[in-house]
């Protein structure tokens, strides 16, 4: 389960780091005047973002090893690359959010204009008189022109009698109906065109706010803090997105790799040692492992004589190997002694252990690991006055303080 969580954490942190590095690349690429300059700046920006993810490992390792100059250098580098990456993330997030909201605002305006144009065209179409289709009216006009009265009236320009007036009234009515049909056709074509454009737009998104998320958050924030507008929320969201990327890409890898305890040093299990109370009655048993049994030695038998007695030849005892001594055991042997009525705090003991490791040029164990291995040596541990203490031991050669040597006369709780 621990390995699964670590793998998922590394995957999530890797995605955040890749996104942040891509944003830094684009930010740095835009700084170059030429394509080569843009490539140089972009590569430097992406490398700085990757360094940002490695800085926590370097910083905490230096602090743990008390290498303060390296810790300060790591902190300075981390601060610089984080600020640089933060500016690129802010710029990228702000630009994308403004582009998105601008496009939505333009879509909303275009949608409103098209809706107004559609309403006008429909209103104008309602004003057009009833008419037949244009083709039918045109065909009837052609039939009228083929009549003899068309020639008598000289194309309805010479109306002299009642029959001619009746004929020309019919012709003029057909011409008015043809004009209505043509106007209606134009308006219907305009309506169809506008409806087609509206169909390409998302009516729901176009008629909503340009930034729906910021609008909703602004309304919610206005309940608690009146006066908050959409622009304030947009600025806050831009900063939040940038911080999400920067914090996630900076510490994501460090947190994910903590599942595997990178700084813990594996050491052989220490042999059990007697507690302070039992030292007067029994000695500690040292764990041993049997060695490979040597081949039996063949001893040539002497020639038998009359006075020879049968003697039993003793076989050599099998050899045994003792488990190697760990750093914690060696520290205990060289720096700690048993002393009745004395005690040491866990913090003071660990600090002395770290100082001893520095003298021996060794890598100290983490405090939890050291406490676990030191506890395996059999030293009694108790919680006195809210502090963990090891009972019955003291540092050799006056290395400990008087406070650690004297056991407080307070009620102790078993750790």
Q: Does a structural domain hold residue 133?
A: yes
What pLDDT score does 72 carry? 93
User: Are 133 and 172 in a shared domain?
Assistant: yes
Residue 61 is predicted with a pLDDT of: 86
Q: Is residue 139 part of a domain?
A: yes
Instruction: For residue 23, tell me if it sits in a domain.
Output: yes
* Phi, psi angles (nearest 5°) of residue 394: -150, 160
Q: Give Cα 243 to chain centroid, integer Å.
A: 11
**Residue 38: burial class (beta carbons within 10 Å; 0-12, 13-18, 19+):** middle
Q: Do 67 and 48 lie in a common domain? A: yes
- Regarding whether 237 and 119 lie in a shared domain, the answer is no
Token pair recorded at residue 212: 């729906």
Q: Is the domain of 239 the same as that of 95? A: yes
Q: Which residues in the chain come in under a pLDDT of 70?
A: 1-2, 98-99, 102, 202-211, 258-323, 397-415
User: Which range of residues forms the domain containing residue 88?
Assistant: 2-102+230-260
Pairing of strands 380-384, 336-345: unpaired
Two structure tokens written together for 267: 């050491």
* Dihedral sign for Cα atoms in the order 89, 91, 96, 101: positive
Q: Are 26 and 42 in contact (CB under 8 A)?
A: yes
Cβ–Cβ under 8 Å, residues 114 and 194: yes
Residue 395 sits in a domain of what CATH number? 1.10.10.10
Same domain assignment for residues 248 and 341: no
Same domain, 276 and 415: yes
Into how many domains does the chain fold? 3
276 and 385 inside one domain: yes
CA distance 394 to 398: 8
Residue 151, in any domain of the structure: yes
84 and 49 fall within a common domain: yes
Residue 137's pLDDT is 87
**Gap between the Cα atoms of 123 and 191, Å rounded:** 11
| pLDDT of amino acid 128 | 87
Same-domain check for residues 155 and 36: no
Same domain for 201 and 256, yes or no, is no
Same domain, yes or no: 15 and 31? yes
> At 19, which helix (H) or strand (E)?
helix 2-29
Domain identity same for 49 and 169: no
In this structure, the strands spanning 380-384 and 320-322 are: unpaired
């Amino acid at each position: 389960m621990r390995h699964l969580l670590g793998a998922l954490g590394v995957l999530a942190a890797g995605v955040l780091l890749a996104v942040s590095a891509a944003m830094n690349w684009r930010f740095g690429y835009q700084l170059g005047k030429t394509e080569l300059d843009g490539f140089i700046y972009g590569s430097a920006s992406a490398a700085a973002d990757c360094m940002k993810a490695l800085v926590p490992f370097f910083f905490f390792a230096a602090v743990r090893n008390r290498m303060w100059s390296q810790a300060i250098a790591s902190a300075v580098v981390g601060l610089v690359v984080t600020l640089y990456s933060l500016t690129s993330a802010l710029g990228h997030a702000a630009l994308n959010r403004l582009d998105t909201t601008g496009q939505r605002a333009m879509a909303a305006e275009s949608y409103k204009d098209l809706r107004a144009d559609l309403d006008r065209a429909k209103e104008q179409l309602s004003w057009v008189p009833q008419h037949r289709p244009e083709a039918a009216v045109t065909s009837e006009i052609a039939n009228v022109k083929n009549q003899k009265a068309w020639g008598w009236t000289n194309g309805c320009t010479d109306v002299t009698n009642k029959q001619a007036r009746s004929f020309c009234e019919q012709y003029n009515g057909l011409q008015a109906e043809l004009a209505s049909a043509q106007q209606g056709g134009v308006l219907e074509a305009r309506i169809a065109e506008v409806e087609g454009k509206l169909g390409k737009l998302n009516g729901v998104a176009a008629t909503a706010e340009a930034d729906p998320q910021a609008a909703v958050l602004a309304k919610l924030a206005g309940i608690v803090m009146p006066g908050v507008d959409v622009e304030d929320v947009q600025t806050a969201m831009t900063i939040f997105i940038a911080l999400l990327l920067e914090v996630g890409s900076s510490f994501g890898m460090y947190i994910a790799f903590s599942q595997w305890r990178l700084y813990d040093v594996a050491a052989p299990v220490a042999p059990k040692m007697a507690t302070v109370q039992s030292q007067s009655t029994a000695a500690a048993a040292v764990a041993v492992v049997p060695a490979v049994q040597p081949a039996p030695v063949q001893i040539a038998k002497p020639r038998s004589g009359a006075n020879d007695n049968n003697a039993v030849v003793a076989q050599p005892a099998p050899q045994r190997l003792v488990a190697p001594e760990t750093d914690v055991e060696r520290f205990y042997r060289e720096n700690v002694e048993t002393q009745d009525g004395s005690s040491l705090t866990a913090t003071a003991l660990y600090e002395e252990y770290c100082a001893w490791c520095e003298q021996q040029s060794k890598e100290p164990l983490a405090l939890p690991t050291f406490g676990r291995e030191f506890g395996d040596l059999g030293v009694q541990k108790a919680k006195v006055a809210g502090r963990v203490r090891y009972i019955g031991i003291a540092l050799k050669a006056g290395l400990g303080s008087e406070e650690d040597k004297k056991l407080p006369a307070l009620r102790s709780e078993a750790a």
